[in-house]
Amino acid sequence: MAFSESRRLFRRARRVIPGGVNSPVRAFGSVGGVPPFIVRGKGARITDADGNEYIDYVGSWGSLILGHAHPAVLRAVRTALARGTSFGAPTEGEIELAEAVRRHLPSVQKLRMVSSGTEATMSAIRLARAATGRSRVLKFTGCYHGHSDGLLVSAGSGVATLGIPGSAGVPESMTRLTVQAAYNDLAAVTQAFDRWGDEIACVIVEPIAGNMGFVPPVPGFLQGLRELCSARGALLLFDEVMTGFRVAHGGAQRLYRVKPDLTCLGKVVGGGLPAAAYGGRREWMDRVAPEGDVYQAGTLSGNPLAVAAGLETLRHLEQPEVYEKLGALGARLMDGLREIAAERGVEFTASSRGGMFGFFFHPGPVTNFEEAKKAHSERFRRFFAAMLKRGIYLAPSPFEAGFLSLAHRPADIDRTLEAAREAMQQAAALR
């Protein structure tokens, strides 16, 4: 494959944009090489500036569950566009989207729309602090909830520790109120509550971790969090920006039958346009301004174009076979990759739920970030490069989940596995 035009664009971009990209992982820092600059997408495929076509397993990081340029979504956006791009005033579409979410997420009685997942989690945590009168937040190492200062932390030492700043520009005072524990470790959460229980406002968790790779909860973990929060007076906050309407119609909370107090949504609910939301029980959401004393606002919140795309996307997800299809495609892809790795003698583990999947060059199981970091990163880099060369676009980091869409077909999976046979051979050469 030729990448001359993408290389030229990357050089140009680096002169005016930090790192040449507007979100760090896009720079291909974990995998090396030049990031393809994408010019169009259709269905399950994207095309770069050099004319190379790829089967896409990123899907705008999970947003495009219907695939690229879905005709019904484009029609909905064009209809909305003809009426205007933004009003900064209420529209009926916002009500319809909120009602659609509430129908399928019983935990969400009211919700507030925002424009990004970072805004959603930041606002939900502010609400949890107001509702409980407490200050500390418990999060899990390796789970990413946006780049607000209090959540941009790295782990300290020990089982359950206070966070330390994970980025320059984040004062220690901003992370001192963040407590961290290992994902899937209820004992560590119990220890944190024993030490700071009357100070913990909420536990925020990705119910399926997607930012340390794809790491599902072990049996009983989410249920244990629910019980601990209820017993200790903290709110349970599910960050379903990735999993909402992707792993099941009611998100991970319906899949695992655990009811959080607050939920953050994004990606799928915007249908590929910038939109997110946070919501929960009426008694908490009534604290949000202008009804209550928790202030949050946004000029483009509930933008009519994003609302139209999100609402049309959710309408297409109401058929029960949708998630069966996504689940079958994911299982077929992961089973095939495991089989190929076993044939090559490569340590490998993989899993999927609905339209979300992930794999590690690791014997498994991987249940937390420390285990994820032990995966063979150089094998991943070799595998990624070989797959890209063969027209398969995977997430350019070993610590990111992958995504399927309803536009993917069994033939796409077969072609992907065919490419993986050669790519796995190259990965196997590394010891």
Contact 333, 412 (CB under 8 A): no
Question: How far is residue 142's CA from residue 154's CA, in Å, rounded to a whole number?
Answer: 8
**Which residues neighbour 9 within 8 Å (Cβ) at sequence distance 6 or greater?**
37, 49
Q: What pLDDT score does 155 carry?
A: 56
Start-end of CATH 3.90.1150.10 domains in the chain: 4-65+320-428
The CA–CA distances, whole Å, from 339 to 333, 354, 376, 427 equal 10, 20, 18, 15
Residue from 48, 50, 56, 239 carrying the catalytic annotation = 239
Q: What pLDDT score does 171 carry?
A: 84
Q: Which residues of the chain have pLDDT under 70?
A: 155-164
Residue from 56, 110, 139, 144 carrying the catalytic annotation = 144
Start-end of CATH 3.40.640.10 domains in the chain: 71-316
Question: What secondary structure letter does DSSP report for 415?
Answer: H
Q: What pLDDT score does 159 carry?
A: 47
Q: What is the CATH number of domain 71-316?
A: 3.40.640.10
Q: What pLDDT score does 57 carry?
A: 98
Contact 108, 101 (CB under 8 A): yes
Kindly report the number of other CB atoms within 10 A of residue 156's CB atom. Answer: 14
The helix or strand, by DSSP H or E, that contains position 143, with its residue range, turns out to be none
Tens digits of residue pLDDT in 127-176:
999 999 999 999 999 999 999 988 888 754 444 556 667 888 888 888 89
To the query of whether residue 239 is one of the catalytic residues in this protein, the response is yes
Place of tokens 């959460």: 189
Q: What pLDDT score does 161 carry?
A: 55
To the query of whether residue 267 is one of the catalytic residues in this protein, the response is yes
Q: Among positive and negative, which fits the CA dihedral 3, 330, 245, 179?
A: negative
Return the structure tokens found at 428. 């196997």
The helix or strand, by DSSP H or E, that contains position 49, with its residue range, turns out to be none
**Which residues neighbour 316 within 8 Å (Cβ) at sequence distance 6 or greater?**
66, 70, 72, 322, 406
Which of these CATH numbers, 3.30.1330.10, 3.90.1150.10, 3.20.20.10, 3.40.640.10, describes 4-65+320-428?
3.90.1150.10
Contact 211, 144 (CB under 8 A): yes
Q: What pLDDT score does 66 carry?
A: 98
163 three-state secondary structure: coil
Residue from 267, 323, 393, 412 carrying the catalytic annotation = 267
Q: What pLDDT score does 165 carry?
A: 78
Q: Any bridge partners for residue 366, and if so which?
A: none
